Amino acid sequence: MTSNSSTQSNENNEKSFALAKDLFPSEEWVSTEPNIFVAKSRLSQKQREPRKWEKEMAQVRILTSRGSIAYFLPEILIQNGNWDLCADLVLDGEVVEMKTITGARATLGSKFSHGYKQGALLLKNCQLSKKHSVFIRLLSDLSIGSVKSKIAGELKYRLDEGSFICFFETTGKLYTWTYEELRAIIGTNTDI
């Protein structure tokens, strides 16, 4: 999802803007930082919930500092039996929900599952794309193998396309695995 080339950056911006505009056609987009655009209707969050705003900006900066283009989506509720917030953003032409995790594997699994559903729900009626991803900023000290196997288990009966993006805060490393790659390790002996 990341690239430093100007051409790739322009393509990512075009894809991201097109999807954001398709999802929210009447929304205006405001450039707040390099590579970060925010729905005008969401800007009030900066004053209303400054801690949440800074947490989300810190999360997205991890991705945009590597060349990705992000469009923060309006913060709206979508009905699917129960009400749920829609996914956070469009990143390089793909819907992404962001989460920060401090707990154990069970927390990782439940937060990933919730983020996955938020992305799928937002794209339910979208014709432009069905691909959605989850980005997790992991603050706990779980191993790469443990994280991969937990997320693979969460994907066992889910067939959507997308990626799991994980930033390991303890090492400062960012990893991206497609859902297909993770489903392929189900039933294999992975490092837990």
**30 phi-psi bin (left φ>0, alpha ψ -120 to 50, beta other):** beta
Distances (CA, A) of 35 to 61, 70, 72, 78, 154: 9, 6, 11, 27, 31
Per-residue pLDDT tens, the chain, 192 aa: give them: 444 467 877 888 999 999 999 999 999 999 999 999 999 999 888 888 899 899 999 999 999 998 899 999 998 876 655 556 789 999 999 999 999 999 899 999 999 999 999 999 889 878 888 899 999 999 999 999 999 999 999 999 998 999 999 999 999 999 999 999 999 998 776 544
Distances (CA, A) of 49 to 39, 52, 53, 56: 16, 5, 6, 11
At residue 188, the pLDDT reads: 75
The Cα 11–Cα 164 span in angstroms is 21
Q: CA 22, 57, 170: angle at the middle one, nearest 5? A: 125
DSSP-derived letter for residue 88 is: S
Distances (CA, A) of 6 to 17, 20, 40, 65, 114: 16, 21, 26, 14, 34
Nearest C-alpha neighbor of 148 from the set 122, 185, 97 = 185
At residue 84, the pLDDT reads: 64
At residue 86, the pLDDT reads: 83
Specify the pTM.
0.89
Residue 125's φ and ψ, nearest 5 degrees, are -110, 15
At residue 172, the pLDDT reads: 95
The encoded tokens of residue 8 equal: 């790739």
